[in-house]
Amino acid sequence: MAFKIVRNDITKVKADVIVTTANPKPKCVSGTDLAIYEAAGKEKLLAERKTIGDIERGEMRITGAYNLNAKYLFHTVGPVWVDGNHHELEILERCYKLVAFIP
């Protein structure tokens, strides 16, 4: 199967996997993260996310997608930009590499 990138409302995409930015703590507060939780079924997704616990920056974890039209959600935690001298690019690069090598 070919790899395909789709630009659309992420909560309406039909896909095997949806990759999303994640909060390091198991919570959803605003933006895309909140939209995904609400579309997926906030209580169930948050409960599964809490079983994972904290996710370090540059790391990724997998949960079910629940009410989304996907099989899985890949939660990646990117860097907080300071000034470019605090390993921000390396952390971001790790997020992309982790997602790219999932079988």
Provide DSSP, 31-70. HHHHHHHHHH-HHHHHHHHHHH----TT-EEEEE-TTSSE
Q: Is 9 a catalytic residue?
A: no
Residues 72, 17 contacting (CB under 8 angstroms): yes
Q: Which of 9, 33, 54, 83 is catalytic?
A: 33
d(CA 84, CA 24): 20
- Active-site positions read 33
